[in-house]
């Protein structure tokens, strides 16, 4: 760990200013200098992880390759630095206290009184040190919440101690604040930043860099004012202005000199770390050239909080970049689908995504949406629960299995086409039966999914309990639904598709977690290809609402 550097991001004034995106952007810039980078998120909430949290509380749960249920910021981290993170890349107050209490119960503390300092702070520091492996040059640490929150105090104390532990030149503190514009006075105000830095200093941390979020550039005069009153060099006051696309942020922050000042603080030789932004500039060129409009409906339960489907949206955008198309997202509340269909208010869609979710609410609406897409050749991608509603819809309307359903939603269904694989399994806790993390699938040669991936063996991340019931597989396939991907032993259905449809694919996995801005996921890429064809009239929009296959 002696050669590893650490960059700590804290926030002030307000939440949701973009610490995660700023940390991700810095990570990308450091990678562009040839440095090996990883990122960790420290969350002050007391939940052990976000896995059992309502999406309305915290947005999507991002799943790592090793099955960690983590904060959605890890999705930004992976998309920007293009590295697969893991469960140790996210730590919460709950998980930290759980570990401390487990050590106390085992007698690890030899009967001593267990206290926030040093035991909790030592555990926080240990979570950070775990990331400092031999193949990492810089560990970026984002602390959730804002300075002044009561929950954040142990984290700030651990960060204060960390510079003493590893050496001054191995640590850089970056503080993100808000510089609001007050319309009545026509001025940008630095007072919130001053108060935030004062609060941070009261915890023993003097920031090395201050990133000022605003909707317009910070003037040189205001930078000098922040520099003087917050005791940082003027070149370390960074103006982070709202950008048209999040993928422009690394270039915006580089122009402001963020990576230069961080490298100098960490005593990294800038001459030996020549910057190559060409790869990321190609990404921003793709974003700028994505102008052809396509409308994609996302049929979900949590559409009032788009962060619940953050990775899905970004994956659609990545696929749009690839095709020079701008994916316009139309949020469709699943419960309202029957009424929308009755009013013919979905026929304008160029494509549809049915994402995952838990609970019965809105399921019949998702089934109706899948039926509409199947019958009227609307390109459709089902993710996790999306695959399951596709199977239920096919069982009812193609295989003639009246009353078919998932046992998750109807324990008395005569045809449980979606079921727990082990009927004798007793659910001990909410995470006890989840299939989490990366699983391998064998694809059917010549299938649409095999053509999309360009291979017959793939690995995708999962987060679900219920599976396609193998007892119904023969009847579903006889009716025309192709099970185009299974687990290597052939027992679990991983992909389904309709062969004579522009694009009708369901996956039990969450492929959205693996998409990158310069490397869209194959399923989203091919969905958008069909959507562009439909938008350009190469697939018909005119439909007969009474038609059926």
Q: Which residues are catalytic?
A: 384, 510, 512
Give me 263's structure tokens.
């490298």
Query: Which of helix, strand or coil describes residue 128?
Result: helix
DSSP letter, residue 186: T
Distance CA 355, CA 197 (A): 41
C-beta of residue 368 within 8 angstroms of C-beta of residue 395: no
DSSP letter, residue 118: I
Distance CA 312, CA 515 (A): 9
C-beta of residue 63 within 8 angstroms of C-beta of residue 112: no
The contacts found for 193-196 with CB under 8 angstroms, 24 or more apart, are 193/12, 193/13, 193/226, 193/230, 194/226, 194/229, 194/230, 195/12, 195/13, 196/12, 196/13, 196/146, 196/147, 196/148
Q: Which helix (H) or strand (E) holds 391?
A: helix 385-397
Cα-Cα-Cα-Cα dihedral of 515, 520, 526, 529, to 10°? Answer: 140
Give me 528's structure tokens.
């958008």
Give me 330's structure tokens.
């139309």
Secondary structure of 222-243 as H, E, C letters: HHHHHHHHHCCCHHHEEEEECC
Query: Which of helix, strand or coil describes residue 417?
Result: strand
Instruction: Write down the residue that tokens 């105000």 correspond to.
Output: 189
Question: Please, what is the angle between helix 310-323 and helix 278-289, to 10°?
Answer: 90
Paired strand residues for 38: 139
């Amino acid at each position: 760990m002696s050669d590893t550097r650490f960059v700590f991001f804290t926030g002030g004034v307000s939440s949701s200013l973009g610490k995660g995106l700023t940390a991700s952007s810095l990570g990308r810039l450091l990678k562009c200098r040839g440095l090996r980078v990883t990122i960790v998120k420290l969350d002050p909430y007391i939940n052990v992880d976000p896995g059992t949290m309502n999406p309305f509380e915290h947005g999507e749960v991002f799943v790592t390759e090793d099955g960690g249920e983590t904060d959605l910021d890890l999705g930004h981290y992976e998309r920007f630095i293009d590295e697969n993170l893991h469960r140790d890349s996210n730590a919460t107050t709950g998980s930290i206290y759980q570990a401390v209490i487990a050590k106390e119960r085992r007698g690890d503390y030899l009967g001593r009184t267990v206290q926030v300092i040093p035991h909790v702070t030592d555990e926080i520091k240990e979570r950070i040190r775990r990331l400092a492996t031999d193949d990492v040059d810089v560990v970026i640490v984002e602390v959730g919440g804002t300075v002044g929150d009561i929950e954040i105090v142990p984290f700030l104390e651990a960060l204060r101690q960390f510079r003493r532990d590893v050496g001054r030149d191995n640590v850089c503190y970056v503080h993100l604040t808000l510089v609001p514009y007050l319309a009545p006075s026509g001025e940008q105000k630095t007072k919130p930043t001053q108060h935030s830095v004062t609060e941070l200093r009261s915890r023993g941390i003097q920031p090395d860099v201050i990133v000022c979020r605003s909707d317009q550039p910070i003037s040189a005069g205001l930078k000098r004012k922040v520099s003087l009153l917050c005791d940082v060099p003027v070149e370390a006051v960074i103006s982070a202005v709202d950008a048209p696309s999040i993928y422009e942020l690394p270039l915006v922050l580089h122009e402001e000199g963020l990576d230069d000042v961080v490298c100098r603080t960490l005593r990294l030789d800038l001459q030996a770390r020549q910057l190559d932004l060409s790869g990321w500039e190609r990404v921003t060129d793709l974003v700028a050239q994505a102008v052809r409009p396509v409308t994609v409906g996302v049929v979900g339960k949590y559409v009032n909080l788009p962060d619940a489907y953050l990775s899905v949206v970004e994956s659609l955008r990545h696929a749009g970049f690839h095709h020079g198309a701008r994916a316009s997202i139309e949020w469709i509340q699943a419960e309202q689908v029957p009424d929308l269909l009755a009013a013919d208010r979905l026929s304008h869609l160029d494509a549809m995504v049915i994402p995952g979710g838990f609970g019965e609410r809105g399921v019949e609406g998702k089934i109706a949406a899948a039926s509409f897409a199947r019958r009227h050749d609307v390109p459709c991608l089902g993710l996790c629960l999306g695959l399951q509603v596709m199977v239920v819809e096919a069982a009812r309307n193609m295989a003639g299995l009246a009353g078919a359903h998932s046992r998750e939603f109807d324990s008395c269904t005569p045809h449980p086409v979606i079921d727990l694989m082990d009927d004798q399994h007793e659910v001990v806790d909410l995470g006890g039966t989840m299939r989490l993390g990366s699983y391998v699938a064998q694809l059917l040669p010549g299938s649409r999914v095999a053509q999309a991936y360009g291979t017959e063996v793939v690995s995708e991340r999962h987060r679900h309990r219920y599976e396609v019931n193998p007892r119904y597989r023969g009847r579903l396939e006889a009716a025309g639904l192709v099970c185009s991907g299974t687990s290597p032993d052939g027992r679990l259905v991983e992909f389904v598709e309709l062969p004579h449809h522009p694009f009708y694919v369901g996956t039990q996995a969450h492929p959205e977690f693996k998409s990158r801005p310069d490397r869209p996921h194959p399923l989203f890429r091919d969905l958008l290809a069909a959507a562009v064809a439909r938008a350009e009239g190469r697939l018909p929009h005119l439909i007969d609402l009474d038609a059926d296959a």
